[in-house]
Amino acid sequence: MAATTQKFDLILRGGHVVDPAQNRDGLFDVGIRDSKIASVAKGLKGAKKIIDVTGAHVLPGMIDTHAHVYRHITGKFGLEADWCGVGSGVTTLIDQGGPSSITIDGFRKYVVEASASRVVSFISTYLVGGMEGHMYDSLHGPDQINVKATVRAINDNRDIVKGIKTHAEVGGASRWGVEVLKLAKKISRESGLPIYVHLGQMWPTKKRISNEQRQRESDELVRAIAPLLDPGDILAHPFTRHPGGFISGITGEVHPVVRKAIDRGVLVDVGHGSHFDFNIARSAIAQGIVPYTLGADMHGYNVTQPGEGKASALKSANPFFGVAPFSLCIAMTELLMLGMDFTDVVKTVTCNAAIIAGMQNEIGTLKRGRDADVSVIDIKPGSWKLSDNSGNHVISDKIIVPRFTLRMGERFEADSPLLPAPVKAPAKTKAKAA
């Protein structure tokens, strides 16, 4: 008797599938064949292997829109891609500003081609790229930008370059005004790709000024740069604790020019990192700022790498230094705790994230025929302590924990050494409703 031909290579059975791009939210099996999504339906049968994911949530492979994974070349700043990617429950990473026109070839060979995770980039505006997490202001002025070379690098690497990373913050503006942003927009318009703009102070101002003056100059900068942005450009760090974000340090209100930019199609990425502040996030969300995408913004100055030991003085001197434990799943948990609907949170790391990379026809959904990139997560009830780098602590009654990923059908456990252990709140503290 002839052997029975199996219809699928793998079935994920019994999970709660949430795929906003397909308006799917419920209990389904996911069938995979030849590294592609073959079917999402109830009661699938006929597989070489079945994985029971009962009780778990099954999502399109999650996309981290703000990664720093050009390890070694960017000094202590860059992390191992698969620690942030498949080992953290994430299948696609968008590196923000690591490679430049000078170093893009190395990024392709030593990161993109060497990683199990899918990796693409928003190329740096600066020739130096993301060296040491932009520690040195002198490397990031207009004289350190070559528009022609960067556009040429983009055109030669369209498969892995999906945008341009730049900054607009008061320390740089005190030296060169908005010239860097204007050059970034020139690269953007000549290449047809969006820019991703960091907001929030990084460097000291050229001259020492009072905190009040710093806030005023930061507000002036935001008012100057927001009108320069086009639909599809991305403003990052809406919940930053640093001067120069979405919220005026003088009025405590969202800048009207930021609202106007969003209204005309400028997008918002959380860019969590060490910037995130719960109080700023509450205020911004209460004033109608809803993130379009969620990037973790993990890097060597805000996480502890294996064998690193305690933070050094050099590490703590970096403008992006932080110690509060986090990951993309922790950042998702925080958005839930702040009142966002779970489906909307999933959008920020799936279909919306695919759109900002111009990859919505490739990733971000479990549509039949797409690469079998899948994230399987657990939502654990309890009383969990969440922290930011301003010293704030909040309690959530649930926490999102990655279980495993499939990257083109291949299984990777969520065993990254960067994943923080969930922190239980003190027993006497009553959990807040998410």
* 307 — pLDDT class (breaks 50, 70, 90): confident
| 351 domain-assigned | yes
The residue segments making up the domain with residue 233 are 62-356
* Domain total of the chain: 1
pLDDT of residue 246: 97
Query: Residue 341: which CATH number?
Result: 3.20.20.140
- In angstroms, what is the C-alpha Rg of the chain? 21
Tokens 């020739």 sit on residue? 127
Q: Give, rounded to a whole angstrom, the gap between the first and last alpha carbons of the chain.
A: 57
Half-sphere exposure of 399 (CA within 13 A, CB side): 22
| 103 domain-assigned | yes
pLDDT of residue 2: 43
The answer on pLDDT for 1 being more than 50 is no
Segment 1-7 shows an average pLDDT of 63
For the stretch 346-359, pLDDT in tens is 999 999 999 999 99
Hey, which residues does 16 pair with through a beta bridge?
27, 57
* 322 — pLDDT class (breaks 50, 70, 90): low
> How many whole angstroms separate alpha carbon 206 and alpha carbon 83?
37
> How many whole angstroms separate alpha carbon 355 and alpha carbon 91?
16
Q: What percent of the chain has pLDDT over 70?
A: 94
Q: Is 363 left (phi over 0), alpha (psi -120 to 50) or beta?
A: beta
| 251 domain-assigned | yes
DSSP secondary structure letter of residue 43: T
pTM metric for this prediction: 0.94
| 403 domain-assigned | no
Quick one: tokens of 149? 């070379």
> How many whole angstroms separate alpha carbon 279 and alpha carbon 252?
11
3 contact partners, CB below 8 Å, separation of at least 6 = none
The answer on pLDDT for 4 being more than 70 is no
| 424 domain-assigned | no
**Out of 19-23, 101-105, 280-284, 315-319, which region has the weakest mean confidence (pLDDT)?**
315-319
| 268 domain-assigned | yes
* 429 — pLDDT class (breaks 50, 70, 90): very low
For the stretch 273-290, pLDDT in tens is 999 999 999 999 999 999
pLDDT of residue 373: 98
The answer on pLDDT for 401 being more than 80 is yes
For the stretch 109-153, pLDDT in tens is 999 999 999 999 999 999 999 887 677 888 899 999 999 999 999
> How many whole angstroms separate alpha carbon 416 and alpha carbon 82?
8
The answer on pLDDT for 434 being more than 60 is no
Quick one: tokens of 73? 């070349």
* 428 — pLDDT class (breaks 50, 70, 90): low
* 433 — pLDDT class (breaks 50, 70, 90): very low
pLDDT of residue 426: 85
For the stretch 363-377, pLDDT in tens is 999 999 999 999 999
Segment 412-416 shows an average pLDDT of 98
